[in-house]
Amino acid sequence: MSHHLLFSSQPRRTWGVAGWIGLLCASLLGWGAVHAQTSTTPILLGEFVNADLAAGEEAAYVLTIPDDATYTVVSTGSGSPDNFQLTILRDDESVVYEETLADLLDVELTAGDYLLLFVAQQSAELGFVVGVEAGSMSADPSLPGELFNGATFVTSAVTEPLYAEVTVEESQYPQQLAILVQGADEDRYTAELVDSATADSTTIATDQSDVLLFPTQGGMYELTVTPDGEGAELQVSVFLSGPAPVLQPGVETSDDLLNPDDTNLYQFAVAEAGTTVHLVATSNEMLTLEVGFWPGEGFRSAYSFGDEPARLTFVAPVAGTYYLDVSSDSTTGAAYTVQFEEGEVAPTLPLATPVDGQIEAGTVVGYLIQVDTAEQFLIVVLAGHTEDDLDLQLSRYADETITDNDISQLASSKEIVSTYVEEPGTYIVLVDSSWSDQAADFSISAGTIPVTDLLAAAAETESSASTPAETAPAETAPAETLEQWAVSASASSQYGDDNWSAQQATGEPDTLISGDEVTAWAAYNSDSQQETLVLAYAQPVIPVGLEIYESYNPGAIVRVEFFDLNTDEWVVAWEGTAETAGLDFATFRPALLPVNFATDQVRLTVDEPSVSGWNEIDAVKLIGIPD
């Protein structure tokens, strides 16, 4: 095995398994008097760098070397490395190297800061990464080895799991941590990476993928590599993707996804909070768009269907940088174009004053609501024509985190959403016509009700109530109900042991957007057969109600059963066709048959073929009378 840095494939401008190069960011750092006319960009060890240079154009990068060692500069550009002259200078301006760039270049460097200056001999794409054979892994989990960004660890005859703490330097921008795990041709390894701060994790098997991918801006991670039997050889390399490509307003970007597991990431800037943002992606294959404040953590998503492009419109909660994930389920990859547009700042929706509006088919119209007083309820009502299908969403963000979110997605244009205002702020309202095939007129109105007014009205009603006559029979007080979320769950199948597992359906809802999200349960296969999801609860109750939170392709539930603790048998409490089919996101409340026994288990039957795609369930609330 070569001890140089290895690559599973030619790097590309993607954050998928096919490669990890990002476009060069515009963060600049001066470098004394050396080449004063050339701006310099700080980079990290192991970070992929990519830039298109014209003939005679220079590109300069500042790199901090942590220890004395032999470092390898690897050319990753699409053309010949002979197209570039490379000069490496220490911070005292002494020249370490001054030759034509090579495919693999080994350079002896001492700890300190260095300037890497590239001069294009002709117009060409520059691509490179700097790494070092260093670091360690240990068979003792209590004394793990140490790896860092840019390090490559090499060993042989691996018979037991190896452990390492991976330290990633702080970055000025989010990157994708890419850990390459490679063995000999017949070797198979399982690798797991855990974020030490959040406990989030990702796992691969090298016969399916040899790259662990994880969003990062620096931190500590725990890496475990386990051989399947004995591994003849093992090489572990720690890379960083570089910054995500920047989308410019009005500029169409062409790209492609080579593998079904790939996700291409982009960034774009929004100058003013409340701006309406439009994203459009076109492809012959189905695409998924997801936008958020951080890679892989979207708050709004959109999909393409057939020949229709994927259109994602949202109102930016804050000014700043947003990230767009583009992915596809196509097994053959997908070529596509994507474009970002900044629209106008969303208009303000006044309180207690109805506003008339119009929306085109398949689009979104946004409003801003300013609430200046806390401790009141905010209610938004939408009304349109009977033949139209409009959805309504109310949300609020604080510190780039969604704090309030209510969605109404009835199969009509009569919608209502509400929230309790704990503190003053700006709320975002979206009218969505994704399910409408024609332009629609509507009227929308917002209002607030102070909690003090409700309490005063309740007190007045209580004081004015007459005392029942002594001869009147005493009314039986209604039994007090208990609402519970599942504490454990199992399923006939699940897509993963953690992500999309049955356990994702326990607890309160945590999937805040419609889509194929890892925080909900999904069966192993879609559209193939009936699946069951069994949920267990802490306290047995006589069931009187059930709320099923369907986060993706609702409407496939065909049966609800309760487990009779007295007979150890399942009893059907509802069976039929759910009215939530066709919605993006729904809470299904089946009309249950009366049950006279206590239960602590619910079984749902999901008819996967009846509703196309994975039918995902985020949470299930059991409402009942304590036994």
The answer to whether residue 209 is domain-embedded is: no
| Domain stops at, among 315, 345, 375 | 345
On the CB side of 129, CA atoms within 13 Å amount to: 29
Phi/psi of residue 185, each to 5°?
A: -55, -40
Residues 336 and 370 in one domain: no
Cα–Cα distances (Å) from 337 to 17, 24, 315, in that order, read 20, 20, 22
Using only C-alpha atoms, the chain has a radius of gyration, in whole angstroms, of 29
The answer to whether residue 42 is domain-embedded is: no
Residues 516 and 609 in one domain: yes
The answer to whether residue 169 is domain-embedded is: no
- Residue 44, classed as helix, strand or coil, is coil
- The pLDDT score that the predictor gives to residue 348 is 95
| Domain stops at, among 294, 316, 345 | 345
| Domain stops at, among 345, 368, 386 | 345
Q: Contact, 282 vs 334, CB < 8 A?
A: no
Strand partners, 432: 364, 391
- Residue 122, classed as helix, strand or coil, is coil
Residues 500 and 620 in one domain: yes
- The pLDDT score that the predictor gives to residue 21 is 31
Question: Which residues neighbour 614 within 8 Å (Cβ) at sequence distance 6 or greater?
Answer: 495, 516, 522, 523, 526, 552, 553, 608
Burial of 38 (0-12, 13-18, 19+ CB in 10 A): middle
Spatial separation of the C-alpha atoms in residues 436 and 360, rounded to whole Å: 9
Parent domain of 420: 355-452
Structure tokens at 160: 């037991």
On the CB side of 63, CA atoms within 13 Å amount to: 26
- The pLDDT score that the predictor gives to residue 479 is 57
Residues 301 and 337 in one domain: yes
Residues 412 and 512 in one domain: no
The answer to whether residue 567 is domain-embedded is: yes
Residues 436 and 497 in one domain: no
Residues 321 and 374 in one domain: no
Residues 439 and 319 in one domain: no
Which segments in the chain show pLDDT lower than 50?
1-37, 466-478
Amino acid at 176: Q
Spatial separation of the C-alpha atoms in residues 512 and 351, rounded to whole Å: 26
Count of domains forming the chain = 3
- The pLDDT score that the predictor gives to residue 471 is 42
Cα–Cα distances (Å) from 441 to 185, 389, 390, 436, in that order, read 63, 11, 10, 12
How does pLDDT run across 225-271, given as a tens digit for each residue? 999 999 999 999 999 999 999 999 999 999 988 776 678 899 999 99
How does pLDDT run across 440-484, given as a tens digit for each residue? 999 999 999 998 887 777 666 665 554 444 444 444 444 588 999
The answer to whether residue 548 is domain-embedded is: yes
Helix (H) / strand (E) containing 458: helix 451-464
Nearest to 41 by CA among 56, 58, 16: 58
The answer to whether residue 327 is domain-embedded is: yes
Residues 341 and 417 in one domain: no
Residues 287 and 406 in one domain: no
The percentage of residues in the chain with a pLDDT greater than 90, rounded to a whole number, is 69
Structure tokens at 219: 């931190």
The percentage of residues in the chain with a pLDDT greater than 70, rounded to a whole number, is 90
Structure tokens at 439: 């332009």
Residues 367 and 295 in one domain: no
- The pLDDT score that the predictor gives to residue 619 is 96
Residues 609 and 488 in one domain: yes
The answer to whether residue 185 is domain-embedded is: no
The answer to whether residue 226 is domain-embedded is: no
- The pLDDT score that the predictor gives to residue 32 is 27
Indicate which CATH number applies to the domain containing 515: 2.60.120.260
Cα–Cα distances (Å) from 406 to 282, 304, 402, 583, 584, in that order, read 30, 24, 11, 15, 13
Indicate which CATH number applies to the domain containing 409: 2.60.120.380
